[in-house]
Structure 1
Amino acid sequence: MGSQPEMHVVIVGGGIAGLATAIALRSPSRRITILERSRMVREVGALLSLQPNATKIVSKWGIDSFLAAAEPMPDRAFRMFNTDGELVREMNLDKKQFGADRVMYHRQDLSLSLKNAAVCPDLPGSPAEIRTSSQVVSVDCEGGIVTLESGETLRGDVIIGADGVHSAVRTAVLGEEQKAIPTGISAYRMLIPTEKLGNLSAPKKLLDPLDPSTTMVIGHDRRVIMGPGRGAKMYGIVALVPDEKMAETSSSDSWVEEGSIEKLREAYADFPAWLHEIFVAAPDIGLWQLRDIDPLPRWVRGRTILIGDAAHAMLPTQGQGASQSIEDAEALRAFLGASPAKEDVQAALERVFAARSERAGLIQKYSREQARPGTDAASKEVKLDPGQFMKYNCDYEGAADWEERQKRGEATV
């Protein structure tokens, strides 16, 4: 073997799925190029979680020092309250149950940590090359040729479509465009510096920015999910509103669309005054319409595979979006091996699809089910059970183990 890597992996998309895959596939015999359409100068200000199924995986990649720089916060409990402030359900998130923590990150911090690990020359394997402002317009899946908006073409032995919900690679793999589906729910996102929350009237059991736990307030077919992040310096809030109850138009699925605090308060007019105090403390607010996609009949064509939101975009109600991307990256690492022969690439990718597609599709389904109204309109009784699918989601030890469980008929709910 010569000095040049024998396999070129082209990853389309430099988000969490693409960066995680670049880390997972690092090898001395592999050259990795990430094509990112943006300039990667600004990430959306929002919190996200890596669930135990994902934290178990990343802990094996030797990137703990990079992740520590992102100021992760283990989430110790999930508490659900009704609009009267009564505790309806509490779920302790015990590390012993699934072998790892549920961890909260600021999206920007996690992305930066993954990027630093992907390009670091000191980790095993060759560092990835990230090319920004590289919009992909078409893919020859069989030939492994990616064409950029500039007209430049790149050839890869493996093409990985990690380009999100509006994936150009998905269109190439399916042979037709499959657009994301509006789900009838819109989400307001806020990040509030915790020092702004010190003198509010919210009960401490509902609002304690130093308590490493997640709180949900639910009622009137709406819900608010709150919790600390970035080392408890920020407090993240997501407020979900059915589109028919929106006081403003929400037609964009961009996380950076600006929302109106006045319209948010109008949508939550029948919630307690202390919640409105929290809303008002937000320095800015984002609004986007939640969309997902139906399970795809295929993720693979030729030497090209879809991962992350391009393959299985899902609602945030299970907190599994980023975690499923991590699972995809681990599956590619497991089945592509250290250096498969080029003619074996498609078989390896099909093996990833066989191990991953049913599981990801079920978690998409669960996420939709958890988005249904969680209260009974007549009795105001809270019906939502956030732990309903926890065992299936988090009891996961990697793609090879899951493949064996499939063979034994054990990869079920």
Structure 2
Amino acid sequence: MAIGSEVEHWDVVIVGAGIAGLAAAIALRQEGRSILVLEKSSMNKEVGALISLQPNASKIVNGWNMTPFLEEKKPMVDEAFRLLNIEGKLQVEMKLNTSQFGADRMLYHRQDLHDALRQAATSDDMPGSPAVIRTSSGVLGCDCDTGVVHISKGSSVQGDVIVGADGIRSAIRDEVIKGSASEGSKAIPTGLSAYRILVETDKLPKLDISEDVFSLKRSATTMIVGHDKRVIMGPGRGGEMFGLVCLVPDPNPNNEGTSWNNSAPLKEVLEAFAAFPAWVKEIISHAPDVALWQLRDIDPLTTWTKGRAILIGDAAHAMLPTQGQGASQSIEDAEALQAYLSDIGKEASGQDIQERLEAVQRARYDRASLIQAYSRLQAKPAASQDNKTVKLNPQEFMEYNCNYSGAKNWVERNREAEEMAYKQTAARA
């Protein structure tokens, strides 16, 4: 796939070493294939929060044989999703199990999952050649046709394939959509913000609540909904940590910051959730610190690809966390790259590469865009006017989201469904 020698050349250049970028580095590993990952941060400290991989993503990760890297991180199987009203009364309990979708919903500390992906991407013990990660290497943009990526330090590198995994403020997206109907697409404030809290479980007191309703020891995700707010919480790191995401109407909608690290006073959170059960506020009150994260997403782009470049993860389809599918869709993107680029050789032309990347987009675009829409839909107020009944149905999109076995399988299933619909229509004519 060589295209020149004026600048340092790599077979694959991945911009961004978050979950999407590292997953792509693992998925694209092959013997003799050179992969460079450019990351603007120093990667000294990944954001502290809990994160889930849904069964659709767990199945893919399991196929990458990452057990040696994950098992020491104390991942937890999420055994149920429990929905409570503002009075703390159980409304819905949805049991989760492997047999349903072929894999478990897994709970991780975000830092642990990120570290495991980084280790797997660069390890000599994984199949294929290890990826190289360069930190403190922010990217200014790229030439999508030649594959030249411009780094903020004044240097450039060249890749046969450019993977833009640089998040919701993607520099690669600016280049990919230039001249398209999506040009100018920016992160959109959604009217919501989230307080993020992470507490050491052994520092929490015994709670004044029946264990039938809620228990810190239960390996489950619990959501409490009331007024225009909700709390989503659950354990992580083998039960050592307990995490909460507390959604509220955006207190500062004109804020331009999308950082996960904006601090907020604990008093502000307690005041926002004053109407919630006392035991929930007891957990919140033990937070060592609070971060306020303005929730943004993007409208579906008209394209994810241009020339040798393709967008994945938040750069392509940033979505709200209400479906818990953000990281999982990034994993799906990485698997799609693996599926369509696994047999492409070093002598492939730019046209060959462009066609492969366009096939990735066709396999992924409609599905990711629909899950984006689902996530927006589930962000709407979910409680009745008296706050005693919860209108949210956690099973509504579960089958679509989780019943997934890879990009090519998805394309084939959709083709068969279209053929069946055509035959049924023809039979009725």
**TM-score of the two chains, using structure 2 as the length reference:** 0.91
Alignment of 1:362-373 (within 5 A): 362-373=370-381
CA 1:197–1:379: 2 relative to 1, 3 Å: closer
Deviation string 1:359-399 (CA, Å, 9 cap, x unpaired) is 00000000011111001224642100111100000000000
Q: Is the 8 A contact 1:74 1:102 kept in 2?
A: yes
Q: Is the 8 A contact 1:16 1:322 kept in 2?
A: yes
Alignment of 1:13-24 (within 5 A): 13-24=16-27
Partner of 2:86: 83
| SS, match of residue 407 in structure 1 | helix
Partner of 2:348: 342
Match of 1:374 among 342, 367, 382: 382
Partner of 1:293: 298
| SS, match of residue 63 in structure 2 | coil
Q: Is the 8 A contact 1:186 1:250 kept in 2?
A: no
| SS, match of residue 212 in structure 1 | coil
Partner of 2:41: 38
Partner of 1:227: 234
Partner of 1:115: 118
**TM-score of the two chains, using structure 1 as the length reference:** 0.95
1: CA distance between counterparts of 2:257 and 2:280?
25
CA 1:247–1:293: 2 relative to 1, 3 Å: closer
Partner of 1:316: 321
Q: Is the 8 A contact 2:145 2:308 kept in 1?
A: yes
Alignment of 1:300-311 (within 5 A): 300-311=305-316
Partner of 2:190: 183
Match of 2:406 among 398, 401, 405: 398
**Runs of 5+ in structure 2 lacking a partner?**
3-8, 420-429
Name the amino acid aligned to 2:12: V
TM-fit CA distance, 1:148: 0.6
Partner of 2:161: 158
Q: Is the 8 A contact 1:29 1:339 kept in 2?
A: no
1: CA distance between counterparts of 2:262 and 2:144?
33
1: CA distance between counterparts of 2:60 and 2:300?
24
Name the amino acid aligned to 1:72: P
2: CA distance between counterparts of 1:76 and 1:110?
19
TM-fit CA distance, 1:85: 1.7
| SS, match of residue 183 in structure 1 | strand
| SS, match of residue 70 in structure 2 | helix
Partner of 2:177: 174
TM-fit CA distance, 1:154: 0.3
TM-fit CA distance, 1:250: 6.1
Name the amino acid aligned to 1:90: E
2: CA distance between counterparts of 1:379 and 1:322?
31
2: CA distance between counterparts of 1:32 and 1:296?
26
Partner of 1:128: 131
CA 1:148–1:177: 2 relative to 1, 3 Å: farther
TM-fit CA distance, 1:201: 2.3
**Residue 267 (structure 2) pairs with residue 262 (structure 1):** yes
Deviation string 1:96-153 (CA, Å, 9 cap, x unpaired) is 0100000000000000000001000122110000000001001100010000111101
Match of 2:219 among 200, 212, 225: 212
Q: Is the 8 A contact 1:251 1:288 kept in 2?
A: no
TM-fit CA distance, 1:206: 4.3
Q: Is the 8 A contact 1:220 1:380 kept in 2?
A: no
Q: Is the 8 A contact 1:93 1:102 kept in 2?
A: yes
2: CA distance between counterparts of 1:163 and 1:379?
40
TM-fit CA distance, 1:273: 1.9
Identity %: 56
Q: Is the 8 A contact 2:300 2:317 kept in 1?
A: yes
2: CA distance between counterparts of 1:174 and 1:251?
22
2: CA distance between counterparts of 1:7 and 1:126?
12
2: CA distance between counterparts of 1:180 and 1:220?
26
2: CA distance between counterparts of 1:292 and 1:70?
29
2: CA distance between counterparts of 1:160 and 1:303?
9
1: CA distance between counterparts of 2:13 and 2:60?
22
TM-fit CA distance, 1:155: 0.4
